[in-house]
Amino acid sequence: MQQNTVRSSPMIRLFTNTLQTSRLLPAALAITTLLGTQTTSAQVKLPRLVRDSMILQRDTKVSLWGWASPKEKVTVRFNNKRYTTTTAADGKWRLWLAPTPAGGPYMMEIAGSNKIELKDILVGDVYLCAGQSNMVHQMNLHSVRYANDIATANNPQIRQFWIPYVNDMNATRADLAGGNWKWANPEDVRNFSAVAYFFARDINERYKVPIGIINASIGGTPIESWISEEALQTFPNFVSTIQRNRDTAYINTLQRNASAANKPGPVKDKGLTGLQHWYDPAYQPKAWRDIAIPGYWEDQGIKDLNGTIWYRREIDIPASMTGKEARVFLGRIHDADVLYINGKQVGNTTYLYPQRRYNVPAGLLKAGKNTFAIRVSNFNGKGGFVSDKPYYVFAGNDTVSLTGYWQYKVGEVFEPVTNPVPPPVAAQNQPMANYNGMIAPILNYTLKGFCWYQGETNAGRPDEYARLQPALIADWRSRWNQGELPFLFVQLPGYMDVNYRPEESSWATFREAQRKSLSIPNTGMAVAIDLGEWNDVHPDNKKSVGDRLALAARAIVYGEKGFEYSGPIYESASVEGNKIVISFTHTGGGLIALDNEPLSNFAIAGADKKFVWATARIENGKVVVSSDQVTQPKYVRYAWSDNPDNPNLGNQERLPASPFRTDQ
């Protein structure tokens, strides 16, 4: 539904549609363009977030704000109440709606010299769900695992407002560039954050109140990009970066140089420059070698190649799969790929993280031999196909595997860069940039709490993060000025190669830095150590993450008692002879081994900190750790690894223990 005027002109409608698709249009420019001579016509304008189908926070006074002419009277009618205010000299206005219980739908009327009517407003609980890619990841990216959840979504009480990507390295924005409130139906729920949706669904089912999700998240972004300039003043490195970024001449030169260096040159790939392209079914491969899918090519006899490699194979398709739409799953590929079937391009992905799931139009597949060709580009590290992922083509009830041996040939070898040009400045990764563009414009919107899933980008800086996450919590609470708003966050799951020896781990140290924020009042942590995938920084199991955040919310946000909402959290350790006894909080109904096997992933050391694997058992609600190799133990670690192998300590509620160490 459109908002802003009851009778909007075609020009206004055209501008609004254009605004919704723009990610980078400055808010000030948007306001100026839309309003034109508004200061003389005295029209009231609302922020983008305040519009049809919004969810307002229940049971507390609610902030409403906007713009009009200086000293203009603004009247708001909502839920049989009338509110008035007068704009300030700069044309801004703000007022407070009286507390309203959960319910709706309601209408709202805002009037100055013009009149705005908002429809289908609900009152419930509103959460800001923010972070990087694992909060971004939409239901659609996990549509295989959650096909039924998508198909059966039918709940107008769960709504999401997806904030468009806008960053500003210099100053806070007044408004968002676009966005609309959408409710959870089979079509729109595909664009909901998966973690946020399952969190909202759990809360809605339990408390029967509308749940609003405001999603402010961008993949790959560091935490400092979400914190205000004022809150970063105690971090000198970020202060200097902010000052550097305000040197527009420096930034513009850097961007121009990077753009010139990355300007595409002539195509050099042999597979695209010959008389017949290598994806053409008529092309006859000569002197091609065998290679396996899945697998990296560096592990199959190709040394340190950055470049393009073509994979080609004839795939037998049964007649039952023809004449209908099909899909191809190509797991994950490092780094980029283009898929051709029978000479037609059917899909491509430009970076390494997404799972490749390509639609094949009806009629392209034929009974018998079909030519599949995949052009893979790799820019650093190992290139090729990630193992332990799905590789097949399917249509209807039939599936054909794409694993096994293919033929390959190198299309291009990228020359090493001897004098690298400094990369362009990525605004979304700069200190305060996302705060300025995506958080500052919504500070007046009344909330119930925050859900935060971020950290992968900062994982190499755990000590700094131990200060940054508390800084973000304090910053956001101060900016919203609603007291100690609940802050729920996700501890990073297991990722990367499994290490079967007790060694140092950056990700383990980072999880410890995250856990330290639990010392801040009104915070809760979802332990996710068991929900990761060794070969995917975006694990597929998003529902369990959302469910665990909802468990924490029941206790932290809603004050429920008599249940356990967290896995065991390390509390203290004591040395008793040749053993160390570990105590925990959040033991719930009692400590258990989640798989009914002996406890694993405990390591022990003496004063030399040379850790060895230990024997651990549960006794009297505690864990007793020992090893014959360490007669005078002093320190213990649990699940202290990037990706620990089957950490199995938990509680009767089936919630896993958070990794920890005692040798800080």
Tokens at 317, concatenated: 């398709």
- Residue 196 pLDDT level (bands cut at 50, 70, 90): very high
- Residue 419 pLDDT level (bands cut at 50, 70, 90): confident
pLDDT at 422 (0 to 100): 85
Q: What is the CATH number of domain 275-413?
A: 2.60.120.260
Which amino acid, residue 625? V
- Rounded CA gap, 146 and 425, in Å? 37
Distances (CA, A) of 245 to 125, 149, 439, 440, 461: 38, 44, 19, 19, 22
pLDDT at 5 (0 to 100): 33
Mean pLDDT of 318-344: 97
Instruction: Kindly write down the DSSP assignment for every residue of 380-436, as one continuous string.
Output: SS--EE-SSS-EEEEETTEEEE--EEEEEEEEEEPPP-SSPPPPPP-GGGSTTHHII
* pLDDT, tens digit, 9 for 90 and up, residues 364-395: 999 999 999 999 999 999 999 999 999 999 99
From 368-372, 416-420, 634-638, the region with the lowest mean pLDDT:
416-420
- Residue 23 pLDDT level (bands cut at 50, 70, 90): very low
**59, 101 Cβ separation under 8 angstroms:** yes
Among candidates 644, 608, 624, which has minimal Cα distance to 501? Answer: 644
* pLDDT, tens digit, 9 for 90 and up, residues 223-247: 999 999 999 999 999 999 999 999 9
Instruction: Kindly write down the DSSP assignment for every residue of 577-628, as one continuous string.
Output: TTEEEEEEE--TT-EEETTSSPP-SEEEE-TT---EE-EEEEETTEEEEEBT
Q: What share of the chain is helix, strand, coil (3-state, %, to 5)?
A: 25, 30, 45
Tokens at 426, concatenated: 């990525």
Pairing of strands 368-378, 336-341: antiparallel
Domain boundaries, the chain: 275-413, 569-661
- Give me the sign of the Cα torsion angle 593, 599, 603, 604: positive
Beta bridge partners of 412: 308
- Rounded CA gap, 21 and 16, in Å? 9
Beta bridge partners of 51: none
On average, the pLDDT of the chain sits at: 93
Q: At 274, is the secondary structure helix, strand, or coil?
A: coil
Which amino acid, residue 633? P
Q: Residue 284: pLDDT above 80?
A: yes
**133, 194 Cβ separation under 8 angstroms:** no
**CA gyration radius, the chain:** 28
* pLDDT, tens digit, 9 for 90 and up, residues 480-528: 999 999 999 999 999 999 999 999 999 999 999 999 999 999 999 999 9
Q: At 147, is the secondary structure helix, strand, or coil?
A: helix
Beta bridge partners of 650: 592, 656
Number of Cβ within 10 Å of residue 105's Cβ equals 12
- Rounded CA gap, 360 and 328, in Å? 7
Determine phi and psi for 467, rounding to 5 degrees.
-100, -30
The b/e string for 362-387 (b: 16+ C-beta within 10 A; e otherwise) is: eeebeeeebbbbbbbbbeeebbbbbb
